[in-house]
Structure 1
Amino acid sequence: MIDRVVRVETDQQLADALAVRHEVFVEGQDVPEDLEYDDRDESADTIHFVAYDAEGEAVGAARLVPYDDPHTGKVQRVAVRESVRGEGWGRRLMDAVEAAARAAGYDRLVLDAQTHAVGFYERLDYAITSDEVFMDAGIPHLSMRKDL
């Protein structure tokens, strides 16, 4: 096998993506399960992604949902297992999300970044759009945007 990021197409791939999110957000950051999982996870217009290492282990996840207009997508739930952080998985996930967004006809992407991750997104050409830090699930965030 090779390292890869795939668009979720099977129940097993979705289960793998949700398992990564559970480890990163629920276990790692104490995000309540009822805030981590929502009806968007089962929505037909949500695109999920899962990253697999060379051994076939799920190591990352993300999702893309429609936003407030037909030209904007929202990136959510970007998660990389702690054991593989710094290996480029976040960038590979975001590359896959952006490619899918372009293919879906989106002109821009928005996201709410945990403040510790803002630098990562800035390196991917996202710009801060919120005036102040806000709390989401007890974690400080800033809103960001990128034109595709």
Structure 2
Amino acid sequence: MTYWTKVATSEQEHSDCASVRHHVFIEEQGVSPSIERDQHDESATHIIMYDEKTPIGTGRVRLLAHNEAKIERVCVVKEKRRSGAGKQLMTALEEASARMGAKAAKLNAQTHASYFYEKLGYTVTSPEFIDAGIPHVTMSKPLTSKSGLIAD
């Protein structure tokens, strides 16, 4: 199944991002609302994914030093997991990263999802740590011509 993604620009699209994050992180995973939103939400580039008109996934990206993108708050509603939505969402986030000038992307993956990111070319670069009460690892991936995103 093919879903569609876009950079969130309107108030409604940003609201849809927040709704998906609330559903997945707060309701499903028990993350405290006080830490789910942070100081980077205003400045980050948010991607929203839809199944027709229904928001089903989101993530955000911001550019760090040394042309490295940080991909964060990636989530897909439970009903659409294992449908290809996550892979498509990550492609959109990597493309947004490349448009920002990033030569590499990094993210903090929940450890249970690290295999998903490994299949997309990410490598674990940290020991396990706890964030929001959930085990995570940092992972990174070069955005090279092999990935079709940027030229070497």
Class of the TM-score when normalised by the shorter of the 2 chains:
over 0.9
Percent identity reads 39
**Alpha-carbon separation, structure 2, partners of 1:139 and 1:49:** 23
The runs of 5 or more residues in structure 2 that have no matched partner are 144-152
Aligned-residue Cα RMSD (Å) equals 1.0
TM, length-normalised to structure 2: 0.91
Q: Runs of 5+ in structure 1 lacking a partner?
A: none
Q: 2:106·2:140 contact (CA, 8 Å) conserved in 1?
A: yes
1:57 corresponds, among 54, 72, 83, to 54
Deviation at 1:66, TM superposition (A): 2.1
- Measure, in 1, the Cα distance between the counterparts of 2:81 and 2:3: 14
Provide the rounded CA distance (Å) in 2 between the counterparts of 1:112 and 1:12: 27
Structure 1 Cα separation of the partners of residues 12 and 109 of structure 2: 27
CA distance in 1, matches of 2:22, 2:33: 8
Alignment of structure 1 residues 97-108 onto 2, 5 Å = 97-108=93-104
State yes or no: 1:7 paired with 2:19: no
Please report the TM-score for the alignment, with normalisation by the length of structure 1.
0.93
Which residue matches 1:76? Answer: 72
Would you say the 8 A contact 2:63–2:97 is kept in 1? no
Deviating runs (4+, > 6 A) in structure 1? none
| Other structure's SS at 2:31 match | coil
Letter in 2 for 1:90: G
Secondary structure in 1 matching 2:41:
helix
